[in-house]
Structure 1
Amino acid sequence: MAGEHTEQTEQTERIVVYGADWCGDCRRAKAWLRRNEVPFTDIDVEHDEQARQRAVELAGGRTNIPVVVLPGGGVLVEPTDLDLAAAIPLDARG
């Protein structure tokens, strides 16, 4: 659920996207995931300080968004559509 964050969320097989509604790269990444029927959890960092801090931590100190956490724990920061396509296994797609 948007805005809610737990450590358990990241340990599931669901992709987690840390982003904000105003962010064009976030909207593009989420649109790619939807187009490819990839389920994901959307976490809004604009209104959740704990989520914002977690996104920075996951991104190695960078403040760029989106931060996409993949099943298994891999992290993509500001991924392009090609980055998403390369990183997300076909069996993760709906």
Structure 2
Amino acid sequence: MPTTYEALTTVFVEDLKLEADEFTPDTHLVADLAFNSLAFRIARAGIRAHLGIALPDADMMNCVTVGDLADLIAEHHHDPAVSG
């Protein structure tokens, strides 16, 4: 079973068309990857499609780094209120 970060990497590569070597857990979503509201929406849809987890928009928008987003996914992985 892949780690949360590995699963998020799949979303970034397949849905956001990023190269896996373009980011690490410390990479800033906005400053380094130029994430905007559309990129967050695409990532959210990819996370739901690949992982079956529906993250709250506000929580996602508060993520600064790729690692923050992976941590958010891990936090919500077993929360029936947000899992899809």
Q: Same fold (TM over 0.5)?
A: no
Scaled by the length of structure 1, the TM-score of the pair is: 0.29
- Higher relative helix content: 2
* Length-normalised TM-score, structure 2: 0.31
